[in-house]
A and B are shown apart, each in its own frame.
Chain A
Amino acid sequence: MVNIRKATIDDLLEMQNCNLFCLPENYQMKYYLYHILSWPQLLYVAEDYNKKIVGYVLAKMEDNSKPLHGHITSLAVLRSHRKLGLATKLMRTAQSEMETVFRAEYVSLHVRKSNTAAYHLYTKTLGYEQHDIEAK
Chain B
Amino acid sequence: KDLSLLQVQRGLYDGFQESRRQILLLKSDQKINWIGYAVGNHMAKDYQKCLHILDTFIKTLDKDKVWDYQDSEMFLYRNQILEESGDLMGALKDLDEIENDARDKQHIWFRRATIQAGMGDLASAEAGFRKLLEVNNENHAYHKGLQQAMGLVPDSEGKYTEMQIKTLSELYDGFKAKWKYCTYAKRFPLTFTHGDDFKARVDAYMRPKLRKGVPSLFRDLKALYGDKFKVSVIEEFVKAYYANLKSKRRFSEKDEPDSETPNVFVWVLYYLASHYEFLGQYEEALKLLDEGIAHTPTAIDLYVLKARAYKHLRDYQTAYEILNFARELDLADRYLNTKCVRYAFRAGKVQDAERIVKLFLRETDTLDSLFEMQAMWYEVSAGLCHFKQGNFGQALTKFYSVEKHFEDISEDQFDFHTWCLRKSTLRAYVDMLKYQEVLRGHRFFKKAANNIIKVYTTIFDKPQKTADGSGEDGDVDMEKLTPKERRALKKRQKRLAAKAKKKQEAEEAKKKAAKDAEDAQKGTASAQSEAAKASTLKESIPDGKKYAESPDPLGQATKMVKELQLYAAKDIDTHIAAFEVYIRKKRCLLSLQALKKALKIYATTPPRDKKYKHIPTHTTTSSNKTPNPTLHCHIVLLSKTLREEKELDPLVVKICALETKAISEFPVGSKSLTEFNDEFLKANSSSLKHRVAAARCRKLLGADDDKAAAAIVDDKLADVAADLDSCVEAYEFLKGLKLPDKAESLRSIFHKKYPITPDFKPPASKKDS
Residues of A within 8 A of B (CB): 1-6, 8-10, 13, 16-17, 20-24, 26-30, 33-34, 36-41, 48-50, 78-85, 89, 93, 96-97, 100-103
Contact = CB atoms under 8 A, between A and B. Distances in A.
Interface string B425-449: 1011101100100100010100000
A20 B335 contact: no
In the A-B complex, the 8 residue pairs with the smallest Cβ-Cβ separation, listed nearest first, are A50-B614, A79-B335, A4-B138, A40-B428, A3-B140, A26-B373, A30-B412, A101-B103
B550 interface: no
A135 B214 CA distance: 35
Contacts of B428: 9, 36-37, 40
Contacts of B335: 21-22, 78-80
Contacts of A89: 138, 181
Interface stretch (B37-45, B416-424, B575-583): B416-424
Interface of B: 69, 72, 103-106, 135-136, 138-141, 181, 183-184, 187-188, 212-216, 219-220, 223, 333-336, 338, 360, 372-377, 405, 408-409, 412-413, 415-416, 419-420, 423, 425, 427-429, 431-432, 435, 438, 442, 444, 614
Given A3-B138, A40-B427, A100 B374 contact: no
Contacts of A10: 435, 438, 442
B419 A37 contact: yes
Contact of B336 (A20, A79, A96): A79
Interface secondary structure of A, over-half rule? helix
Contacts of B416: 33-34, 37
**Quick one: which of B104, B374, B377, B405 has the most chain A CB within 10 A?**
B374
Given A1-B140, A16-B374, A20-B377, A33 B412 contact: yes
Interface residue SS majority, chain B: helix
A20 B373 contact: yes
B409 A83 contact: no
A20 B375 contact: yes
Nearest to A38: B423
B432 A37 contact: yes
Contacts of A5: 136, 139-141
A97 to B, nearest CB: 8
A80 B372 CA distance: 27
A86 B379 CA distance: 29
A13 B214 CA distance: 27
Given A28-B374, A96-B135, A83 B213 contact: yes
Given A83-B214, A101-B104, 4 more contacts: A83-B215, A85-B183, A93-B136, A97-B106
Given A4-B136, A79-B336, A100-B103, A40 B425 contact: yes
A136 B188 CA distance: 45
Contact of B220 (A1, A8, A102): A1
Contacts of A4: 136, 138-139
Nearest to A77: B335
5 contacts: A9-B435, A13-B442, A40-B425, A40-B427, A83-B213
A80 B219 contact: yes
Contacts, number: 125
Given A1-B183, A30-B412, A13 B216 contact: no
Contacts of B373: 20, 26-28
B432 A21 contact: no
A77 B282 CA distance: 29
A29 B409 contact: yes
A66 to B, nearest CB: 15
Nearest to A26: B373
A24 B373 CA distance: 11
Given A4-B138, A13-B442, A20-B377, A82 B425 contact: no
Contacts of A40: 425, 427-428
Given A20-B338, A22-B334, A80 B374 contact: no
B334 A24 contact: yes
B359 to A, nearest CB: 10
Nearest to B330: A79
B183 A84 contact: yes
Given A10-B435, A83-B215, A102-B69, A33 B135 contact: no
Contacts of B415: 30
B375 to A, nearest CB: 5
Given A1-B187, A9-B432, A82-B215, A49 B223 contact: yes
B75 to A, nearest CB: 13
Given A1-B188, A13-B442, A49-B614, A81 B181 contact: no
B135 A83 contact: no
Contacts of B444: 13
B435 A37 contact: no
Contacts of B72: 101
B230 to A, nearest CB: 15
Nearest to B431: A9
B536 to A, nearest CB: 14
Nearest to A44: B136
- Which residue of B181, B215, B360, B444 has the most chain A CB atoms within 10 A of its CB atom? B215
Nearest to B432: A9
Contacts of B432: 9, 33, 36-37
A84 B423 contact: no
B377 to A, nearest CB: 6
B138 A29 contact: no
A74 B444 CA distance: 23
A96 B454 CA distance: 49
Residue from A23, A27, A101, A103 whose CB has the most chain B CB atoms within 10 Å:
A101
A95 B338 CA distance: 30
Nearest to A102: B69
Given A89-B138, A100-B103, A101-B104, A84 B216 contact: yes
A75 to B, nearest CB: 14
A81 B220 CA distance: 10
Nearest to A51: B614
Contacts of A17: 376-377
Contacts of A2: 138, 183
Nearest to A21: B338
B427 A23 contact: no
Contacts of A38: 419, 423, 425
Contacts of A34: 416
Contact of A33 (B103, B187, B214, B413): B413
Contacts of A37: 416, 419-420, 423, 425, 428-429, 432
Contacts of A26: 373, 375
A30 B491 CA distance: 48
A20 B341 CA distance: 13
B429 to A, nearest CB: 6
B558 to A, nearest CB: 26
B377 A41 contact: no
Contacts of A6: 106
Nearest to B416: A37
Contacts of B139: 3-5
Residue from B106, B372, B438 whose CB has the most chain A CB atoms within 10 Å: B106
B69 A24 contact: no
A24 B331 CA distance: 13
Contacts of A13: 409, 442, 444
Nearest to A46: B138
Nearest to B220: A1
B532 to A, nearest CB: 18
B431 A8 contact: yes
Contacts of A24: 334, 360
Contacts of A33: 412-413, 416, 432
B341 to A, nearest CB: 10
B181 A85 contact: yes
Nearest to B415: A30
Contact of A81 (B216, B412, B438): B216
Nearest to B616: A49
Contacts of B183: 1-2, 84-85
Contacts of B135: 96
B143 to A, nearest CB: 9
B215 A80 contact: yes
